[in-house]
Amino acid sequence: MADATHNVIIGNGSAGNGAAITLRERDPDSRITIITMSSLPFYNRYDLPRVFRGCHDWREILVHPPEYYDDNRITLRRNSRVTDVDGRSRSITFAHNEVMHYDQLLVCAGGRGYLPEELSEYYGLMHGFHSFESATTTYRALPKGGTVIMLGGDMIGLDLARTLIDVGYRVMVLANEYTFWPHRIEADERAGFIAALQHMGLEVMDGVRPVAIEEGAAGKPARRVVFEGGDSVDGDVVIPFYGLVPTAEFMLGSGVDIERGLLVDPQLQTTDKHIWAAGDVCQIWSAADNEYRFYYGWTNVRQMGEVAARNVTGADEAFKGVGDERLHVGRDGHIQSPFWEY
């Protein structure tokens, strides 16, 4: 195996795992390594709302049992943060100072929650929902029937909100231009979608601008969100949902072109012939739109991973995203996003 091709995948989400198993199927002799910053094997992030339904053991939301990796001869490197990629020497450097060689690199690092700069100083007073650990921590901070204040309210947050309402929590959405992200809502549609949220049981405050987050007063909920103008609302936890930004900093200096995400052609290859990208981390060239653009959602991301893996192993296949990207209101009065169907 010393001469086997080493395919390295940075990212252990649906794109990375879709790529890994596709690589294994198409290249049985290759070495496959998945690198992730997470402590946990691959779990379905779309399942994270289950934490608020009583699922407190991460084993219950694993997509594959841990033995899956051994069974498929996939090396999983957890708790491993990549700090640097050198395209010329085809090497990766980890935060723990280890250097790893790759023959083909698939970057499926996904994205992380965006936080506007003016709120960054209040990061320590906010809760998270980006991982099992952060979701569980948020759950533990939330008293029964407590109040969740969602800043922004992207589709990740709104998906969570549906569960929170269902299990008896109060949800306040401080709506702004990030509400419904990644969908682009036309101005004349917005009121309808806001009404749908209210129909779902969410309390929506549209047009308010949070400027500060404070500890709650004694005997009051644990947090207070202060608006421009001085008004405020109280809640037990405050979670920002301002959409995602690609996790691509470690690729700076790698030699590949980066705009907001890694720029790839429709075959998902970067400007380095040994580096590919898939998922929320990449912007794909769209001839129709005449721009590099993002594609979101489980179906798109998974498909990207598989397409990239096929192209790594000799195919010449262009990625085709989910056709329908429109947000709509279902017969039950709830908003529905094709991105969140899986």
Partner 1 sequence: MAKKRESTDIQFAIIGSAGDGTIAAGDILKRAMAALGYKVIAFDIYPAEIRGFGKCISRVRVTTEQAYSLKRHSDVLVSLDDSYAIPHVGEVCDYGAVIYEASPIVRQPEGAHITAHIRPTQLPYGLNQREISERATSSARSRNIVILGYLAALYDIDPQAFRKVIAAKFRRKAPVVTTSNTAAFDAAYEVGKRVFKLDQGSLGEPVHADKGETATMMTGNGAIVRGCIDAGLDTFFGYPITPATTILERLAAELPKHGGRVLQTEDEISAISATIGAGYAGARAATATSGPGLALMAEMLGLGVMGEIPSVVFVSQRGGPSTGMPTKTEQSDLNMAVFGGAGDAQRIVLAPTNVDGCYRTAGKAFEMAEQYQTPVIVLMDLYLSNRYETVVPPAKNPFAPNLNKGMDARRGDGAYQRYQRADDHVSPRALPGDEAGMHTVTGLEHNEFGKPSDLPENHMAMSLKRHEKLKAALKHPDFTICKRFGDEGPVDVGILGWGSTFGEILEAMFAAQDEGLRCSAMKVVMLSPLPEQQIAAFMDDCGAVLVPELNYEGQLANLISGALGRPVTRLNRATGAPMQVEEILAEVRRLAQARAA
What does the binding site for partner 1 look like in residue numbers (CB under 8 A)?
Answer: 39-41, 58, 66-70, 75-80, 94-101, 133, 136-137
Residue 137 beta carbon to partner 1: minimum distance, rounded to whole angstroms: 7
Cα–chain center distance at 167: 24
Pick the closer one to partner 1 by CB: 48 or 200: 48
Q: At what angle do helices 298-312 and 14-26 cross, to 10 degrees?
A: 30
Q: Which two tokens stand for residue 157?
A: 């947050």
Which residue, 129, 109, 149, is CA-closest to 47?
A: 129
Task: Characterise 219 by phi-psi region: left (phi > 0), alpha (psi -120 to 50), beta (else).
Answer: left
Residue 124 or 229: the one with the smaller Cβ distance to partner 1 is 124
Distance CA 332, CA 342 (A): 19
Decide whether 31 or 224 has the Cβ nearer to partner 1: 31
Smallest separation (angstroms) from partner 1 to the CB of 45: 16
Helix (H) or strand (E) run with residue 7 in it: strand 6-10
In the Cβ-directed half-sphere of 42, how many Cα atoms lie within 13 Å?
Answer: 26
Minimum Å distance from CB 136 to partner 1? 7
Q: 76 or 172: whose CB is closer to partner 1?
A: 76
CB of 89 to partner 1, least distance (A): 13
95/315 with CB nearer partner 1: 95
CA nearest neighbour of 236 among 126, 148, 127, 136 = 148
**Are 106 and 220 spatial neighbours (Cβ–Cβ below 8 Å)?**
no
Smaller CB separation from partner 1, 133 or 234: 133
For the CB of residue 286, give the shortest distance to partner 1 in the complex, in Å.
37
- Shortest CB 141 distance to partner 1, Å: 13
